[in-house]
Structure 1
């Protein structure tokens, strides 16, 4: 009889192929197991072991826990994605080297913990937990394994577990935490209000706080030491309307002294910058995506009330693109005002060289990690959606304009 590893490899090869019947037969063999009395338990333990090894290898190829969990949820659905989270927990249980704090923070945020009693009973316990039968559980495990083992390498934004060198976290000082708490409170109010003007004012105030804090951090650090370099985060920009989400991420990044690259095929945008700026981008992007979606839904209602046509993809995408561009203008205006105030207070001869040095470091990091980056053109196809989206971001501008185009930086 074949051993567990052979059964798993055969099932994996079949699932990756195009012969559906063969895949079903190989899953049936996996269901039977090795033929021994404990054959099913041996298969379950081997599946978890291989999946844990696979997520560990992907860590060395740039994939962080949040990246794996997000992509698994997108491509497989929430239930199979839970198996990837379990594999991350199993892999963390026996680390091969030092584990940086940020890695454990991501695992905690994902709820990745060893909740099962023994690896041999993991899949049975997972099936009972999710309310599925064993065959469905085996299929989910093989699908998760096929996804993880088939991932391409991506940019290594931070040293992974076991790697030498500093494992810097993105977090700032205690003062930065207090500032971010104020920003979170402002953005929470902006998300909850039904008045667009109030949401805009609250978001603008949040950006002012962020910009001032960024300048304070830059002046405190001075010119970066040669060993320092900007970090990076990945923001989910998956379908639907991935291009519009990527544009929003790019606009928020640009307003906060960061660079952004959209990986359309993988459903995320990589943002490069200094720690305080990256934290700000994450907060703002998440909040503005909520605000943009709510504004789009209100726009649909207004359109129907005026006797407009049914919702179309072109309308929605044009709305979100216009919202992103107008919000980007407002965020950059707030940052520029903070720069002028700081230059007047500290002297341009002190501030400008520091900002220029930090901006150049971010661009160099971009060129190092993404040497083949290209610009893609996003075309707005619905003038009504464009006008509504612009109005949602800035009520003072109500007139419809031409449907322009916009470029978004992406991977070749």
Structure 2
């Protein structure tokens, strides 16, 4: 095997490998020639050094974050590529001492992916040499030579072909020296209020995870309702404590939307964001959305969206069992999700108006005018959005929908637990 030829392919022609057919064809040719990822190490080293790790560096510079890359691998390559990309991200994190140098949001994503688990000490230059990462992945996953090459090559194609997106977190090339952390990686620094916020979010996430894992609809509904109750209480408390939105308290959050029916799910996310005074921008074709808003509201948006996705899945399953004639199952499901998103958005807006009226009346009794606070928070979010996305344009879907699915979705939304979340008022 000509290593120079392979290195040239990995550097300059890799985007073509994102196509499953091209990756499979080349993987078969390499396997037929007896080229193994865990062979003598020379070819594997070329794949890791000149290919995958270099491609990862490129994605960071184009605005991608660790969770974005794992999402793209799952969506554009195969589910089997996720353990490989997590191992590669972990190798990169060790080489760059990310646990000590990266921004908190980056480190949190590494922790959630499990990319900081195991491995050699941070900064050890010998930790990931000679293609150990890819070879170790192949052995642990027990992949055949052809299958391992196909997954690795297709992942390389996805990484090399990833487009440029807005840079929300500084990439590794902009990290400074290692800094001393007062708490474990990913933990939020701050006073007791911040610690209480973290505890509340852990409880809410745990309830949602249990709801997603159970096979019993009644148990899932009870867990989801409890999570919604805690989320609403947490959001109200955070808003009261925060008051006017301080400079720098407008944040961003990437939300990954999985297939199928991505457009319909994005409509639901947009409805949740709008009702919570946040703004959503969607990267078409990537299944990635960016939500801009007050930091306390971003947690609420993400958690509520997760909860409603679970509820809509349960509602859709029930509606399909009783639905009448329709154009097709796929058209019915898509219309159901769109109708659900539309009606849930209306309900959330109604709850927001009621809460705003109640809070305004209560403040007036104390001779406090909330309107400037509300206006300043909205303006701060809009300013941050314009700075991040100066060329933003809006779009609305004009595609026709299945009437039966739309009505069924709206009916399910009437039964959805959306809580009575108050907007951030101060």
TM-score, length of structure 2 as denominator length = 0.77
Equivalent position of 1:385 in the other structure? 405
Alignment partners' CA distance in 2, 1:190 and 1:114: 29
The runs of 5 or more residues in structure 1 that have no matched partner are: 397-412
The Cα shift of 1:362 comes to 1.5
Relative to structure 2, which stretch is displaced further, 66-75 or 205-214? 205-214
The Cα shift of 1:283 comes to 0.8
User: Is this contact kept in 2: 1:211–1:256, CA < 8 A?
Assistant: no
Relative to structure 2, which stretch is displaced further, 73-82 or 90-99? 90-99
Alignment partners' CA distance in 2, 1:104 and 1:310: 47
SS at match of 2:395: strand
The Cα shift of 1:289 comes to 0.7
Alignment partners' CA distance in 2, 1:176 and 1:48: 40
Relative to structure 2, which stretch is displaced further, 266-275 or 202-211? 202-211
CA pair 105-188 structure 1, distance change in 2 beyond 3 A: closer
The Cα shift of 1:393 comes to 1.3
SS at match of 1:62: coil
Q: How many residues align?
A: 385
| Deviation string, structure 1 residues 335-386 (Cα, Å, up to 9, x no partner) | 3333333333344854322222221122122222221322122545211111
Q: 1:358 aligns with which of 371, 377, 388?
A: 377
Relative to structure 2, which stretch is displaced further, 9-18 or 101-110? 9-18
| Deviation string, structure 1 residues 182-211 (Cα, Å, up to 9, x no partner) | 655776798765499979976774564255
The runs of 5 or more residues in structure 2 that have no matched partner are: 121-126, 180-185, 417-426
User: Is this contact kept in 2: 1:81–1:144, CA < 8 A?
Assistant: no
Alignment partners' CA distance in 1, 2:31 and 2:336: 51
Q: 1:271 aligns with which of 291, 301, 323?
A: 291
SS at match of 1:224: coil
User: Is this contact kept in 1: 2:224–2:307, CA < 8 A?
Assistant: no
Is 1:173 the counterpart of 2:194 in the alignment?
Answer: yes
- Larger relative contact order (CA 8 Å, sep ≥ 6): 2
Alignment partners' CA distance in 1, 2:257 and 2:15: 27
The Cα shift of 1:11 comes to 5.5
The Cα shift of 1:103 comes to 1.3
The 5 A counterparts of 1:309-348 are: 312-347=329-364
Equivalent position of 2:30 in the other structure? 28
Alignment partners' CA distance in 2, 1:125 and 1:265: 32
SS at match of 1:358: helix
Equivalent position of 1:104 in the other structure? 107
| Deviation string, structure 1 residues 201-251 (Cα, Å, up to 9, x no partner) | 7677456425523532441xx3423xx252211222243111110001001
Equivalent position of 2:65 in the other structure? 64
Alignment partners' CA distance in 1, 2:326 and 2:23: 45
The Cα shift of 1:277 comes to 0.8
The Cα shift of 1:6 comes to 3.9
Alignment partners' CA distance in 2, 1:189 and 1:146: 35
